[in-house]
């Protein structure tokens, strides 16, 4: 082999890591090392160069961007990246990404809902069981040494046989339905479109779904159409014994109306992992034993992060190899 036949190291494809200074990839050094072994990761916050000049210098080489968590992908940022073809989101929700601008540019977007689906579904069912059986409230009853004084504790409610309405029958909603079907619940759903492969009863709107359900579980993404999709009318349709579980986004629910309905006993309870103004939670909820609160942790397990890492690498490898992507978001 001659000197000119020596193979040169293959240049790694560039991927822009887009994050706020306070955000980073989950603390898994092996994943970061694995990512950097396959791709040239550009992180402006690791460079002494000013952000704008860093971005301008690399703009024409960046074909893929990896936004961390809810970091905004605006139309203005997209305009600065003329070679961009792919956004690999690290979240299930995409409200932080300007999807219409992506569609107009032909930029493909992937999300992480399939990586998070099982763990979020587990959390949703856990919240529901907790609300119905009053587990967290019972824990406070025992720890507060109230049991020896009051003797009796209020009855809980059986999960089996409940009519459950799922708002959003995507990967997370499907996993919720699978779990609750095993409990003997009757499942119905509403979604952007009726899904022919789904055997459950479909309702075209949330109010009708609520009127025919005892529980509403919110799994859908937050969009202009789904903002406050659960409003006062929906809560009234759900009724005084109805329960709302939200593992989607806080603004899917009109939080002020929800608080009022819970305080006045107009619905039966709620299990909330997300809120409208995180990390601020309405103080009126703190004293309610029929409300279970979680600090937006439904996806937070080592297993879900491992699945996320595999999904990110899988999508990026497929893209740079001109193969089908793993979790493309519909352009509909």
User: What is the tens place of the pLDDT at every residue in 21-77?
Assistant: 777 766 566 777 888 899 999 999 889 999 999 999 999 999 999 998 889 999 999
In angstroms, the CA 218 to CA 168 distance is 7
What is the pTM (predicted TM-score) of this model? 0.91
Please enumerate in sequence order all residues whose Cβ is within 8 A of that of 310, keeping only pairs 6 or more positions apart, or say none.
Answer: 115
pLDDT at 10: 62
Whether the Cβ atoms of residue 42 and residue 16 lie closer than 8 Å to each other: yes
Write out the two tokens for 194: 């009726």
pLDDT at 74: 96
Whether the Cβ atoms of residue 124 and residue 176 lie closer than 8 Å to each other: yes
In angstroms, the CA 216 to CA 261 distance is 15
Q: Please identify every residue annotated as catalytic.
A: 249, 278, 296
87-126 b/e with 16+ CB inside 10 Å = b? bbbbbbbbbebbbebbeebebbbbbbbbbbbbbbbbbbbb
Q: Which residues, given as ranges, of the chain have pLDDT below 70?
A: 1-10, 25-29, 331-332
pLDDT at 160: 97
In angstroms, the CA 246 to CA 241 distance is 17
pLDDT at 70: 85
Residue 69 backbone class (left: φ over 0; alpha: ψ -120 to 50; beta: rest): left
In angstroms, the CA 142 to CA 153 distance is 10
In angstroms, the CA 58 to CA 331 distance is 28
How many H helices and E strands in the chain? Answer: 12, 12
In angstroms, the CA 129 to CA 126 distance is 5
Whether the Cβ atoms of residue 308 and residue 112 lie closer than 8 Å to each other: yes
In angstroms, the CA 231 to CA 240 distance is 15
Closest CA to 31 of 306, 264, 311, 325: 306
pLDDT at 6: 45
Place of tokens 């560039």: 14
Structural domains for the chain: 3-111+301-320 (3.40.50.720), 116-293 (3.40.50.720)
pLDDT at 8: 41
Show the CA angle centred on residue 227, arms to residues 221 and 229, nearest 5°: 90
In angstroms, the CA 292 to CA 11 distance is 51
């Amino acid at each position: 082999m001659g000197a000119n036949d020596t193979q040169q190291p293959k240049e790694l494809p560039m991927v822009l890591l887009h994050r706020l200074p306070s955000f980073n990839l989950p603390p898994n050094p092996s994943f970061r090392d694995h990512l950097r072994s396959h791709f040239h990761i550009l992180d402006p916050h690791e460079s002494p160069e000013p952000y704008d000049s860093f971005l301008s210098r690399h703009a024409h080489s960046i074909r893929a961007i990896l936004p961390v968590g809810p970091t905004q992908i605006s139309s203005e940022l997209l305009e600065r990246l003329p070679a961009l073809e792919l956004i690999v989101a690290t979240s299930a929700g995409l409200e932080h990404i300007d999807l219409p601008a992506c569609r107009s540019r032909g930029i493909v977007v992937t999300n992480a809902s399939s990586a998070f689906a099982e763990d979020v579904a587990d959390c949703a069912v856990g919240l529901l069981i907790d609300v119905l059986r009053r587990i967290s409230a019972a824990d406070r009853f025992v720890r507060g040494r109230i049991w020896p004084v009051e003797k009796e504790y209020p009855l809980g409610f059986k999960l089996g046989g409940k009519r459950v309405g799922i708002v959003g029958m995507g990967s997370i909603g499907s996993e919720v339905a699978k779990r609750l079907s095993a409990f003997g619940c009757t499942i119905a759903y509403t979604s952007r479109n009726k899904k022919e492969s789904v055997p459950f009863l479909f309702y075209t709107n949330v109010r009708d779904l609520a009127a025919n359900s005892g529980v509403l579980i919110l799994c859908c993404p937050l969009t202009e159409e789904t903002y406050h999709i659960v409003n006062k009318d929906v809560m009234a349709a759900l009724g005084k014994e109805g329960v709302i579980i939200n593992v989607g986004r806080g603004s899917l629910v009109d939080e002020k109306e929800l608080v009022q309905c819970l305080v006045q006993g107009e619905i039966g309870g709620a299990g909330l992992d997300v809120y409208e103004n995180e990390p601020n939670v309405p103080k009126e909820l703190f004293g309610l034993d029929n409300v279970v609160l979680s600090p937006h942790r439904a996806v937070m397990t080592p297993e879900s992060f491992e699945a996320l890492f595999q999904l990110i690498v899988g999508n990026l490898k497929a893209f740079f190899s001109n193969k089908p992507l793993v979790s493309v978001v519909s352009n509909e």
